[in-house]
């Protein structure tokens, strides 16, 4: 353990260990809890002897596991993209959701699904194009004082445009999935569609952070792919990226270790909020056209509370 502390030179290793442990606990809870809650005995039986309880094994491996994996990847890549787009080491990381990047990616995916034959691969290409436009807008307005307002307006307008394309009630669930973020009915088919871009996003982000002096356009390309991958996995998610990236920026260490810490925090936040959304859904009446409370609904409340807290805190410091 002493060698570990010497090697790290800071408490970053402890942060990584604690974050990983918390993520594993949250993943276990997400696999065991739901509309059909599994007792510890049934959950362990499903993991170790799936043939002894095929119903529990099907719930864990066929229903909940792909959902948890996509949640982890979406949160991790959203946080990694935010950290990658930070203007400098201690600069405030932009939020891919509230800055308009992920909403434009969701709009691109909706447009692609509308004009295509419905193949899921079209949604991946549409998300890439949309997120690329969002990152280009961020890069073009990075030095503007009104850049945050512009990004926020884009984040509001893009879902409205997507809703206009999916105005039919039958497709309202598709709009919720892309524009508000949802992990409902995420199965292995969704994972098979998303994993190539998810893997590509992780590799590009790690490569960009391994060489911090790389050209800026490489960081923008990596952030585009990472943001698009997160959008494909869980839709547009606000607040997650900037919060996890800020937590990673506060820790000392190499760029690669910070990007890993940001990914762990992002994954932990999305898995935890998804579990909370499922719990709230069980307590509230049926949403109607959708089966679960969207992640975006909880994230809007959390973002508003965090904004009010930051404003009150800043005023108290000034006083």
Please give the chain's pLDDT, 319 residues, in tens. 344 334 344 566 788 889 999 999 999 999 999 888 899 999 999 999 999 999 999 999 999 999 999 999 999 999 999 999 886 545 678 899 999 999 999 999 999 988 876 678 899 999 999 999 999 999 898 878 788 889 989 999 999 999 988 877 667 888 988 999 999 889 999 999 999 999 999 999 988 877 665 578 888 999 999 999 999 999 999 999 999 998 888 876 677 888 899 999 999 999 999 999 998 888 877 666 677 888 888 998 898 888 787 777 777 766 5
2 lies in a domain? Answer: no
316 lies in a domain? Answer: no
Count the domains in the chain: 1
Domain harbouring 163, CATH code: 1.10.3470.10
178 lies in a domain? Answer: yes
Q: What is the residue range of 115's domain?
A: 11-311
Instruction: Tell the burial category of 44 from Cβ atoms under 10 Å away from its Cβ (0-12, 13-18, 19+).
Output: middle
d(CA 224, CA 190): 20
Q: Are residues 192 and 68 in contact, defined by beta-carbon separation less than 8 angstroms? A: no
Q: What separation, in Å, do the N-terminal and C-terminal C-alpha atoms of the chain show?
A: 44
289 lies in a domain? Answer: yes
319 lies in a domain? Answer: no
6 lies in a domain? Answer: no
Structure tokens belonging to residue 151: 């990004």
Query: What's the whole-model pTM score?
Result: 0.90
5 lies in a domain? Answer: no
Place of tokens 């990381």: 93
> Which among 96, 80, 263 has a CA at the least distance from the CA of 181?
96
């Amino acid at each position: 353990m002493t060698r570990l502390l010497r090697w790290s030179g800071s408490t970053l290793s402890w942060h990584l260990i604690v974050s990983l442990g918390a993520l594993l606990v949250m993943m276990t809870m997400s696999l065991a809890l739901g509309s059909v809650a599994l007792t510890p005995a049934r959950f362990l039986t499903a993991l170790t002897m799936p043939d002894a309880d095929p119903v529990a094994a099907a719930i864990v491996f066929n229903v909940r596991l792909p959902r948890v994996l996509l949640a982890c990847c979406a949160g991790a890549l959203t946080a990694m993209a935010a950290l990658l787009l930070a203007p400098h080491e201690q600069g405030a990381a932009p939020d891919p959701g509230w800055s308009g990047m992920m909403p434009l990616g969701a709009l691109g995916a909706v447009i692609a699904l509308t004009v295509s034959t419905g193949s899921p691969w079209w949604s991946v290409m549409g998300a890439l194009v949309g997120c690329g436009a969002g990152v280009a807008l961020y890069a073009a307005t990075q030095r503007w004082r009104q850049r945050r307002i512009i990004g926020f307006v884009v984040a509001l307008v893009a879902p409205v445009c997507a809703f206009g394309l999916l105005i039919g009630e039958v497709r309202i669930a598709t709009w919720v999935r892309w524009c508000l973020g949802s992990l409902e009915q995420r199965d292995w088919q969704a994972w098979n569609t998303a994993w190539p871009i998810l893997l590509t996003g992780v590799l590009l982000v790690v490569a960009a952070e391994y060489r911090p002096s790389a050209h800026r356009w490489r960081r923008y390309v990596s952030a585009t792919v990472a943001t698009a991958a997160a959008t494909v996995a869980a839709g547009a998610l606000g607040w997650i990226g900037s919060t996890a990236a800020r937590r990673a920026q506060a820790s000392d260490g190499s760029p690669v270790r910070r990007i890993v810490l940001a990914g762990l925090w992002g994954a932990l936040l999305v898995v935890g909020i998804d579990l909370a959304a499922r719990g709230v859904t069980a307590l509230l009446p049926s949403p109607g056209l959708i089966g679960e409370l969207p992640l975006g609904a909880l994230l809007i409340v959390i973002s508003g509370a965090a904004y009010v807290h930051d404003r009150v805190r800043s005023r108290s410091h000034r006083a």
